[in-house]
Structure 1
Amino acid sequence: MKISSNFDAGSIEVVSMNGFEDIQLRIPNDNASHFAQWFYFRLQGAAYQTCNLRFLNASECAYPEGWADYHAMASYDRINWFRVPTSYDGSVVTIEHVPLANSVYYAYFEPYSYDQHLNLIGQAQGSGLCQVSDLGSTLQGRDINLLTIGHEVESDLKIWITARQHPGETMAEWFVEGFLNRLLDPIDPTSRMLLDHATFYVVPNMNPDGSVLGNLRTNAAGANLNREWLNPSLEASPEVFVVRQKMLETGVDLFLDIHGDENIPFVFVAGTEGVPSYNDRIRALEEAFKHHLKLASPDFQDEHGYEKSAPGSADLSWATTWVGNQFQCLAYTLEMPFKDNANLPDDDYGWNGQRSQRLGEAMLTPIYAVINKLRA
C-alpha cells in the first residue's frame, strides 16, 4: 500500500498506515499560510479492500463546518469523478471506501490541472474569436493570461470575468470552461448577440501558483488574493496588480468573480450593497440579473447565501466590492458549493465539474437580459 501526492495540486501528509482500515492522514497548510482544507492524493495497492482514511486535523482546518454533510471525491482515471462515503465526528473526517482498482485518487473537489488550464487557453484561441495576451508573471514565473473576446471597439460594453483567486476552488475554472464553450460557439444566438454589443475579458485562473502548489486560498507568497484589491503589490500579489491595472485601462461595465464555498450547500451570489457608490440603478440591475439567472439555471437560488453588508460597510479589498465601487457597475461574486446543491441533490456526484460547466453556459442568459441596461 502506498500514498503519494507529488503531482500537480497534490497535497497530503501521511501520519501512519497500520492497515487498510487505519490510514491516518493530515491535510497540509497552504505553502505560506495557515489555511488548510484542500487535499488530493493517490492510493495504490488497496484494490477490493475496505479502506478507512482518517484526516486527523479536520477540526483544525480553515472551515471545519464545511465537513458536515460533505463527501469526498474519487477517481480511477482523473477524468471521471464520483463521491465516496465520508463522515465527520467533530474532530476527524473519515473516508470509508472499497477501491475497485489498485490505483485510486481522492480529492477535496474535482481538480482542474495546470495542463487543463493551458489547454483551455489554447482551445479558446483556436476558436478564432479569442485573443490571448500576457499580463505578467506570478511569483513563481507562471503566465497570467487574459482572454479577450469581442471587437474591442470603444462603444463595446466591457464585461470582466475572473476565476480561482482561491486556487482550491476548482469549480470556478470548470465554470469558465462552460462559459467559454458557449460564448465561443459561432452558431449560438445568445453569444452572437452578446458579441455584437460587448467585449469580454476573462482570466480563467487568477492564481496558477497556488493551483499547482495544492493551496486552498493563497498564492505562493501566502497572500489571499481576494483581500488584495485595494492595495495590491508586485511583491505579494502580482496577479491582482496586473489584472487591476488592465481593468483601469479598459473600464468595466459588468464584473463576475467566480468562487466556491466550503460551508453553504447552494449556488448563490454576493453583491455590492455595502459600497459607497451603491444606488437604486445597481439594485435594479442586481434584481434583474438574479431573476434571469434563476430562469436560466434551476441550480441557482437567492434565499441562502452571505449576509448583506450594511450601507457603507463593505470591505473594498475584495474584488467584487472594489470593482463595483471603482466603476459604479454591476458586480457579483458567484459561489458554488464544495458539497452538493441542496435544492437539487445528486448522491453519486454532488456538485461537480460538469454541473459547474453547465452553470457557466447558463450565465450568458442573464448577461444578455441586462446588456442594454448596464450603462447609466
Structure 2
Amino acid sequence: MIINSQFDSGNIKVLRADAPDDIQLSINKDAQSEFYQWFHFKLHTQAFVNHRIHINDLAKSAYPDGWKDYQAVASYDRDEWFRVDSSFDGDTLSIDFTPEHSSIYFAYFAPYSYERHLDLIADAQMSFDCKHELLGHTLDGRELNLLIVGDAANVKNKIWITARQHPGESMAQWLVEGLLRRLLNEDDGTAKTLLQDNVFYIVPNMNPDGSVRGHLRTNAVGTNLNREWAAPSLEKSPEVFHVLNKMQETGVDLFLDIHGDEALPYNFVAGTEGNPNYNARIAELESAFKQSLMACTPEFQDTYGYDKDSPGKANMTVACNAVGHRFDCLSYTLEMPFKDNADLPDVSYGWSPIRCQQLGEDLLIAIRAVSENLR
C-alpha cells in the first residue's frame, strides 16, 4: 500500500500502513497555525480487499463536533465523489471501505482544485458580460482574481460575492461555479433581468494559497482571513487588503460571503443584527432574502443556524459584519454543510458539488427579490 498527498490540496500524515485493516493516519496542521481538519489523500492498494482507515487525534481538531455523524467522501476518477461508511469515537474517525479499483482518493469534502479555479476564471472572461480583473497577489505569489459581471455603471447596485476565505470549505467555490453558470447564461431570464440594474463583483477563491496547501482555515502564514476585515495588511492578509480596497472603490449594496460549516447539517445564513448601525431597513431586506430563498428551494432553511449576536456586540473583524457596517448594506454569511442537508438527506452523496451548484443558481432568485430595495 502507498498513501500519497503530494498534490493540490493534499493533506495527510501516515503513522502506520502495514496492513489494509489497520491504516493509521493523522492530519497536518495549517502552516503557522493550530487549525487542522481538512484531509485529502490517495491510496494505492489491492482492489476488492476490505480496508479500515483510522484518522487519529481529532479531539483536538478545529471542530471536533464536526466529526459526529460525518461520512468521508471518496472518488476513483476525481470527478464523482461519494460517501463512504465512517464512524467517530470521540478522537478517531474510522473509514470502512472495500475499493473496486487499485487507487482511490479520500477527502473531507469534494476538492475544488486550483486548476479548476483557473479554468473557471478563463472561461468566465470569455462571456460578453464578464470582465476579469487581477486585484493583486497572495503571499505565495498566486493571483487574486475578481470577476465583474455586468456593466459597472454608477446607477447600478453593486453586488459583491466572496467565497472560500477558509480554503477547506471547498463547497463555497462549487456554489460560485453554479451561480456564475446561471448568471452568464444569456438565455436565462433571471440573469438578464438582474444585469439590467445590478453589477456583480465575484471573488471565487479568496484564499488560493491555503487551498493549494491543503489548509482548513488559514492562508500561507497562518492568518484566518475572516478575522482580518477591521485592519487587513499586506504582510498578513493581502487577500482581504486588496478586496476591501476594491470594495471601497466600487461601493457595496449587497454582500454575500460563502462558507461551509463543519458541525451543522443545514444550509443557513448569518446576518448583521449585532452591528452598531443595524436598522429596520436591513432587517426587512434580510427577511425578504430568506423568505425568497426558502420559497425557491427546500435546500435552504431558517430554523437552525448560529446564535444571533446581541445588539452592538458583533465581531467587527468578520467580513459579513465589517462590510455590512462600512457600507450600510445587506450583508450575509451563507453556510453550507460538510455533512449532508438533514432536511433532504442523500445517503450516497450527502451534500455534494451538484447541490452546491444548484444552490448557487437559486441564490440569484433571492438576490432578485431584494435588488430593487437595496437602496
Normalising by the residue count of structure 2, what TM-score does the alignment of the two structures yield? Answer: 0.99
SS at match of 2:349: coil
Q: Does 1:257 align with 2:257?
A: yes
Q: 2: distance between equivalents of 1:180 and 1:95?
A: 35
Q: 1:23 is aligned with what amino acid?
A: I
Q: Which residue of 2 aligns with 1:362?
A: 362
For 2:178, the aligned partner's letter is: G
Question: In the alignment, does 2:90 pair up with 1:90?
Answer: yes
Query: Which residue of structure 1 lines up, in the alignment, with residue 341 of structure 2?
Result: 341
Distance 1:45 1:21 in 2: 12
Q: Does 1:232 align with 2:226?
A: no
- 2:222 pairs with 1:218: no
Which residue of the partner structure matches residue 323 of structure 2?
Answer: 323
Partner residue of 2:32? 32
2:21 paired residue number: 21
Residue correspondences, number: 375
- 1:31 is displaced (CA, Å) by 1.7
How far apart in 1 are the matches of 2:189 and 2:361? 13
Give, in angstroms, the shift of residue 59 of structure 1: 1.4
Tell me if the contact between 2:129 and 2:151 (Cα under 8 Å) persists in the aligned partners: no
Q: Does 1:372 align with 2:353?
A: no
Report the alpha carbon displacement of residue 129 of structure 1 after superposing the two structures with TM: 1.3
Tell me the residue number matched to 2:109. 109
Cα offset for 1:18?
Answer: 2.6
CA contact (8 A) 1:163 1:172 kept: yes
Shift of the alpha carbon at 1:95? 0.5
- Which residue of structure 2 aligns with residue 276 of structure 1? 276
What is the match of residue 64 of structure 1?
Answer: 64
User: Are 1:183 and 2:192 matched, yes or no?
Assistant: no
CA drift of 1:127 comes to 1.6
Q: Does 1:289 align with 2:299?
A: no
Q: Which amino acid aligns with 1:160?
A: W
Identity %: 56
- The 1-side partners of 2:308 and 2:191 are apart by 32
Determine whether 1:162 maps to 2:162.
yes
Give secondary structure in 2 for the equivalent of 1:43.
strand
Describe the superposition over 1:71-97 as per-residue Cα deviations: whole angstroms up to 9, x where unpaired.
Answer: 000000100110000000112110010
Distance of 2:95 and 2:46 partners within structure 1: 14
In structure 2, the residue matched to 1:5 is 5
User: How many angstroms apart in 1 are the aligned matches of 2:306 and 2:340?
Assistant: 17
Instruction: Tell me which residue corresponds to 2:353.
Output: 353
Q: Is the 8 A contact 1:296 1:363 kept in 2?
A: no
How many Å separate the matches in 2 of 1:365 and 1:56?
Answer: 43
Aligned to 1:129: 129
Would the aligned equivalents of 1:121 and 1:147 in 2 still touch at CA under 8 Å?
yes
String of CA shifts for 1:188-231, please: whole Å, max 9, x gaps. 01100100001100000000000000000000010000000000
Provide Cα deviations, 1:138-165, integer angstroms capped at 9, x if missing partner: 0000000100011111101000000000
In the alignment, the residues of structure 1 paired with residue 129 and residue 96 of structure 2 have an alpha-carbon distance, to the nearest angstrom, of 47
| d(CA) in 2 for partners of 1:327, 1:184 | 27
Shift of 1:5: 0.4
- The secondary structure found in structure 1 opposite 2:125 is helix
**Hey, what does 1:302 align to over in structure 2?**
302
SS at match of 1:144: strand
> What's the counterpart of residue 312 of structure 2?
312
Q: Supply the AA of the counterpart residue of 2:301.
A: Q
For 1:101 and 1:178, locate their aligned partners in 2 and report how far apart those are by CA, in whole Å.
31
Q: Are the counterparts in 2 of residues 256 and 333 from structure 1 also a CA contact under 8 Å?
A: yes
Q: Which runs of 4+ in 1 moved over 2 A?
A: none
1:206 is matched with which residue? 206
Name the structure 2 match of 1:77: 77
- Note the alpha carbon deviations across 1:304-356, whole angstroms, 9 max, x for none: 00000000000110000000000110000000000000000000000011100
Aligned counterparts of 1:348 and 1:301: Cα–Cα separation in 2: 22
Q: Distance in 1 between matches of 2:364 and 2:204?
A: 16
Aligned to 1:142: 142
Determine if contact 2:232/2:240 at 8 Å carries over to the other structure. Answer: yes
Q: Deviations over 1:230-275 (max 9, x none)?
A: 0000000000000000000100000000000000000000000000
Q: How far apart in 2 are the matches of 1:4 and 1:46?
A: 15
- Between the aligned partners of 2:242 and 2:296, the Cα distance in structure 1 is 33
Q: 2 CA distance for matches of 1:46 and 1:275?
A: 56
Could you tell me which runs of 5 or more consecutive residues in structure 1 were left unpaired when the two chains were aligned: none
Query: Which residue identity does 2:286 align to in structure 1?
Result: E
Query: Aligned equivalents of 1:215 and 1:336: distance in 2?
Result: 18
CA apart distance, 1:32? 1.9
Secondary structure of 2:161 counterpart: strand
Letter in 2 for 1:372: E
8 Å Cα contact 1:71-1:83 kept in structure 2 = yes
Cα distance in 2 for residues equivalent to 1:46 and 1:117: 33
- The letter of the residue matching 1:262 is E
Supply the distance in 1 between the matched residues of 2:134 and 2:81 (Cα, whole angstroms).
32
